[in-house]
């Protein structure tokens, strides 16, 4: 089944301080604005390599808490520290993929900028 989701018109950029827990919600909507039911989908939200850099955590990804028509993405304070190697500002790309039995669809993407407090 071909699914077109209309959450993002580009990307969502998140700025947070190093040593902070980060969490935000994404809502799923059809192009006409009605909600899209995420039930039955597998959701992945990995961080992406950028400019040849590899995230320093093994299998780094957002923790995803799905709801019927939305999801919460979060990472812990410890993960923000690990992503900001040596306490330096860090920029990591991320994406959210939803998968059902038929296909895998990119739902959202963006950047996470981590800066010193």
Distance (Å, rounded) from C-alpha 29 to C-alpha 4? 9
- How far CA 94 is from CA of 11, 26, 41, 48, 55, in Å, comes to 10, 13, 19, 5, 11
- 12-56 per-position pLDDT tens digit: 889 999 999 999 888 888 778 888 888 888 988 888 876 656 665
Domain extents in the chain: 12-112
> Looking at the whole model, is its pTM more than 0.85?
no
Q: Which CATH architecture has domain 12-112?
A: Sandwich (2.60)
Please write the tens of the pLDDT for every residue from 50-104: 665 666 555 567 888 888 888 889 999 999 988 888 889 988 888 888 888 888 8
CA distances from 91 to 16, 41, 88 (A): 10, 28, 10
| Residue from 81, 44, 77, 50 nearest 63 by CA | 44
d(CA 26, CA 12): 10
């Amino acid at each position: 089944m071909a699914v077109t989701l209309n959450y993002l018109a580009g990307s969502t950029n998140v700025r947070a301080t190093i040593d902070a827990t980060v969490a935000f919600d994404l809502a799923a909507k059809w192009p006409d604005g009605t909600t899209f039911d995420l039930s039955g989908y597998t959701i992945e939200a990995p961080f992406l390599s950028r400019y040849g850099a590899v995230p320093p955590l093994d299998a780094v990804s957002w923790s995803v808490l799905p709801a019927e028509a939305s999801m919460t993405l979060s990472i812990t304070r410890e993960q923000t520290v690990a992503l900001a190697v040596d306490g330096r500002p860090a920029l990591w790309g991320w994406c959210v993929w939803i998968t059902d039995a038929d296909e895998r669809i990119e739902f959202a993407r963006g950047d996470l900028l981590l800066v010193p407090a």
